[in-house]
Structure 1
């Protein structure tokens, strides 16, 4: 077998032993969806047998892009961003892909120009857009214009399946509020997420849906807005617990704010769940680590992020994954029967 000058097998060796063209080998390496499974498996077996390792610099030059997956976000919830990163990393593990993270300011008039410069400089293989900027159609159009493959994550479907992974936030929150109602709660406070987030709007709609179904009127005195942070959860909790009569249960639109509500209750001398039941959303690490452990809606963020990354790097495998993910309620110790 003829090898390169440094003794390593080459793409020509793989092509010859597989009985296919160099172009077909390249398609296997690049995970092209244009190949049948038999050809892909045959070439992959030869690659494994030879121990062939593609040259990433040469591939990048040939494709005129780097093997980088970009994660672009403007999200105050650090736990959510961390969960997304873990999902992406699980998808690209044992591949030559790497992750680059780019925070942006969605309120800046220069955001699109900043993202354009980033995409042009990095020559990304693909990019993942997190909410709320994933809801910006102009950003998706910019990716199309620059020929950058993109996937959007969101609480509702915003795009075609090849560009989208979504969850069922509205339905999931409605089910969580219904759970509180079935436990005997009628006066249920609500801490919304920040204005401009589609997830915040969907979760608010789920709260309203459940109350309407149960014939419970809305009460602005036990509704507050937060910013998906612990500190705003404390402030919202203080406001809601100052209402007369105070709520017997509070749903917070993410776990960070739910933890803040729990802190506010404790500073007022209230016991959870005896005096106040609390439910969060996300099922991040904080939910299981605080006391009492938090009943919360599990948002399958890592699974969603992994599926989104596969849409970028391995469309054939991605087609086996769902584009719509369901959240479910995780019952712990922060809710009591009223």
Structure 2
């Protein structure tokens, strides 16, 4: 069955009703004061290009004056989209993905929106085509893109061309404030470096994530900056990739411990790798923190469950997911964010770090 686009747009944009003249302003109020039809107001709300700029400006001025806010769910219908928020991710850390999901669900609680997941593999040549197919099939209200999917410029351009709203979470600003949640990963890693240097460690190693992740480079750069401030440096043989996974952390730590001069301390780029480092360090007969101090990144639940509890850099991942969902809904509702939403990590000192052991 076919539907009239104009009638559909009118109904969708009107929100909670058309006959109200008191209380919450309606599309009728906007049309009356702007001296245009409801259909024209609906077209402006739904970003139709078929409205003259002068008329568009007049309608937007009335909307601002009245404080009229169309229901984002209704706008989704007008744009022929579902009530689904898509999380598109390619992240080797399961806990990171779980925390992002929890944050999004926090923001969607009490609404009609639901979360749908789309795991992907950026190394595959048809990665972007698969995301495009997902969008065409589910017609999501919008997408949330955590690292490293958020760093894919080809994907961002593809979503723009498909007129799909999205919010990116990344360690650097890649887009406008309406489409970005920025995490200051470099500052958090610098805090880890300062902490270890202040304890008196001099032979400090770093287990980093995949080189395809911007966060890997941001965290390493921040860490090295802090070491440089303390008159130290990260030696080439003290930097090993761990892939952001537990298994990678085990392997990387074993490589570091096999060096002629094993490190006094290890900064792992996430808690998964730090947990792997615990295993390798103990297998090698070293004690934590008496022989080797370990610092992680993210402050996932495992950090407080290890023994001794892991000193780590807390990145509020759940809050980031919630903020991304709220930003997506606000942007789709016509709001334009002027200020970048930023999350700054902080170090949480626990039992896995101490002053160097004196032989």
TM over 0.5, yes or no?
A: yes
| C-alpha contact (below 8 Å) 1:307/1:322 kept by paired residues | no
Which of 196, 209, 212 is matched with 1:196 structurally? 212
Which of 315, 318, 324 is matched with 2:342 structurally? 324
5 Å-filtered alignment, 1:242-321, equals 242-315=258-331, 319=337
Cα RMSD (Å): 2.9
Unaligned runs of 5+ in 1: 1-9, 45-53
Which of 326, 351, 354 is matched with 1:333 structurally? 351
Instruction: Give the SS at the match of 1:314.
Output: helix
C-alpha distance in 1, partners of 2:21/2:28?
12
Instruction: Give the SS at the match of 1:190.
Output: strand
**2:169 matches 1:153:** yes
C-alpha distance in 2, partners of 1:182/1:16?
65
Name the TM-score, length of structure 1 as normaliser: 0.84
Change (3 A) 1:39 1:256: same
Which has the higher mean CA deviation after the structures are superposed, 14-23 or 114-123? 14-23
Which has the higher mean CA deviation after the structures are superposed, 319-328 or 168-177? 319-328
C-alpha distance in 1, partners of 2:311/2:22?
57
Which has the higher mean CA deviation after the structures are superposed, 18-27 or 111-120? 18-27
Aligned residues: 314
Change (3 A) 1:37 1:258: farther
Which has the higher mean CA deviation after the structures are superposed, 246-255 or 16-25? 16-25
Change (3 A) 1:36 1:59: closer
C-alpha distance in 1, partners of 2:225/2:98?
31
Instruction: Give the SS at the match of 1:278.
Output: strand
| Corresponding position of 1:180 | 196
| Corresponding position of 2:241 | 225
Change (3 A) 1:125 1:23: farther
Name the TM-score, length of structure 2 as normaliser: 0.80
Change (3 A) 1:113 1:13: closer
1:97-116 CA distance string (max 9 Å, x none): 11111011101111111111
Unaligned runs of 5+ in 2: 1-14, 31-40, 48-59
| Corresponding position of 1:47 | none
